[in-house]
Structure 1
Amino acid sequence: METNGAEYTFLMAELIRLRHKQGLTQKDVAHRMGVDPATVCRIEKGLRSEVRIAHLQAYAETMGLRVAMVLTVAG
């Protein structure tokens, strides 16, 4: 299964760190998102080949956060 890039890995590491800081489990996040815990696990591991921004936003919102994106010139 295809995984996502370095930026995604960095973002998820930070979201997971914040999830742990708030004492939330994957099951807690899944319940708040209205998805199966296995879906949260796959999102966190980057195993979903097409993770949508909406999924990341919903994940962040379970902790009272929002995802802000910045575009920069490559290279």
Structure 2
Amino acid sequence: MATPGRDVEYTESAVIEVFKDRDDYAEPLTASEVADELGCSRRTALNKLHDLEDTTDVTSKKVGGRSRVWWIPVQVN
């Protein structure tokens, strides 16, 4: 019998690439937009984004009742 669930693992580096592969690097993204780019569920993307916020420069801001946007701050020299 096959094991239920997916064998695909979405790495934190894959999530970071979603931010880096955009035309406007400074534009914030929603978890749904990240999920669409990765081809995963919104919950999976949200979990990865929360992990990244704890360990990297990924930052978020609540913008509505339950809405949050995510971005990597642009370094200005």
Q: Same fold (TM over 0.5)?
A: no
Bigger Rg over Cα: 2
The alignment's TM-score, normalised by the length of structure 1, stands at 0.32
The alignment's TM-score, normalised by the length of structure 2, stands at 0.31
Instruction: Return the structure number with greater relative CO, CA threshold 8 A, min gap 6.
Output: 1
More helix by share: 1
More strand by share: 2
